[in-house]
Amino acid sequence: DYCVRRTMAAQMVVREDEWLKRLASMKVNKEDMDRLIMNYFVVEGYKDAAEQFALESNTSLETDLASIGDRMAIRSAIQNGDVDAAMERVNDLNPEILEGNPSLYFHLQQQRLIELIRQGKVTEALEFVQEELPPLCEESPQLLDELESTLALLAFESLPSLSASQDAAPPPASGTCPPPSLAHLVQASQRQKTAREVNSAILTSQARDKESKLPMFLKMLVWAQDQLKDHATCPRITDLRTAELTNTAPPEAPPR
């Protein structure tokens, strides 16, 4: 193959034009791709997108829209800091979700504590800890470290402010501001982490995939590229958002 050369180390080198030609020759079933996209919309709770995509692609939803709406409402409540409302909705869906998952129940209670600390309600936060969290830590001692880290936030006068949709840049660690090892607890990413855990638990209770397949395939892509670079020099995707190829092959020597 004139487009494939070998280096001194006997490593295969594939030019970008040849790589693109090989990619174009791969046949992808449209129905499989549509199901993959639909799986992402349903699992991640994008109700409107799932409904519209079902109409446009004639792909089955494989679930009812009300179920997606319930999960969206719960996720939205957590991301807005209203953990009480989220827990109430979870119990309305299925009380066994929290009753049978002490770790999840603890993380929701931990999020409630974080929201109280964020609001400066120190007395209420301490009362909440004394009444609600010790029994959970007694049953699962490994959760005690997480509780202690959360309580450490009370030692700081200033906490990062944030909106529900984006993380705030943490201020430099000081006597009044928590270090990054603690500051992440009061950032939006912590709310999102808790929301994802709840979403997965609900899906598991409904005997559905608790994680969407698309991110898993992207992780497999990154892994495959890392494995391939030890055996061949070829274009690779460095930005998963755009899927733009970066040519890693050395320039071809000019003809003599």
SS3 per residue for the chain: CCCEEECCCCCEEECHHHHHHHHHHCCCCHHHHHHHHHHHHHHHCCHHHHHHHHHHHCCCCCCCHHHHHHHHHHHHHHHCCCHHHHHHHHHHHCCHHHHCCHHHHHHHHHHHHHHHHHCCCHHHHHHHHHHHCHHHHHHCHHHHHHHHHHHHHHHCCCCCCCCCCCCCCCCCCCCCCCCHHHHHHHCHHHHHHHHHHHHHHHHHHCCCCCCCHHHHHHHHHHHHHHHHCCCEECCEEEECCCCEEECCCCCCCCCC
pLDDT category at 164 given cuts 50, 70, 90 is: very low
Q: Give the pLDDT of residue 45.
A: 85
Q: Residues 52, 38: contact at Cβ < 8 Å?
A: no
What is the tens place of the pLDDT at every residue in 40-59?
A: 888 888 888 988 998 998 88
**pTM of the full structure:** 0.72
pLDDT over 50 (residue 168): no
pLDDT over 60 (residue 167): no
What is the tens place of the pLDDT at every residue in 199-222?
A: 999 999 988 888 888 888 888 988
What is the tens place of the pLDDT at every residue in 75-115?
A: 999 999 999 999 999 999 999 999 989 999 999 999 999 99
Q: Residues 248, 234: contact at Cβ < 8 Å?
A: yes
CA distance 96 to 159: 35
pLDDT over 60 (residue 122): yes
pLDDT over 80 (residue 248): no
pLDDT over 80 (residue 5): no
Strand order from edge to edge, sheet including 232-233:
4-6, 12-14, 232-233
pLDDT over 70 (residue 163): no
pLDDT category at 2 given cuts 50, 70, 90 is: very low
CA distance 225 to 231: 10
